[in-house]
Structure formats: structure tokens, C-alpha cells
Amino acid sequence: MRKLLIDVNVPKALWLLLKKEKFSFICLHDLNREMDDINVVQLALKKKYIIVTSDKDFAGLQGIFPGLQVIIFHSTTQNVENKIFMLKKILNVLKKEPDFDFKCTILKC
């Protein structure tokens, strides 16, 4: 199973879901809260992490960094329940097909 890299803008409720679902993940909160997007991408590519974020800037970095995989939450509210619902759907895909290559997935919730 691939490891997820959780950006600093992702609510803690989502970390708890990942922990409950036994997904392997690391939080930027624990590494470096001030890391810029380029360094986050470089870390993700080096360690083969999938970035989970609410920062739409990562979608634009897809063309610059081949192989980058990102899950982006795009919402006009901070409704954590919707984000959890959408993340569960993605996690189910990753559980069934651990090598699934989804490039950049934008979850509107």
C-alpha cells in the first residue's frame, strides 16, 4: 500500500479516518509545517507518497512533475463530513487496487 502525505491544510478528522482505516500516512504537521509546495512535491516523488491536500496549486504542478499523485479537496465550506465521505471512496479504490494510478484527483465536496 502506498503511503499518503497529508498537507497541513487537511483537517485532523481526516487523519483519524486514515488511522482507523489502517492507511500508512505521514503528516506535514510532524515534518515541517512551513515546507513549500515544491519541496512537498519533491518529498512525495522521492518517497512515492500520494499528497492529500486542499491546496489547488498542486494541480498545476502535475505537468511539471511527472508521476506526481495528488488528492485535492475542493470545497467552498469546511464540511469535514463531506471530505471524509469522499476520501473513503478513494481509499476503497486504493485498497482494492493498490497500484491504481490516478494522477490528480480533485474531490468537490
Residues 4-31: tens digit of each pLDDT: 999 998 888 888 888 887 888 999 988 8
Residue 35's pLDDT is: 93
H, E, C per residue of 37-89: HHHHHHHHHHHCCEEEECCCHHHHHCCCCCCCCEEEEECCCCCHHHHHHHHHH
Is 109's pLDDT higher than 80? no
- The class of domain 4-108 in CATH terms is alpha beta
Residue type, 106: I
Is 102's pLDDT higher than 70? no
Q: How far apart are CA 74 and CA 100, in angstroms?
A: 22
Q: How far apart are CA 77 and CA 16, in angstroms?
A: 20
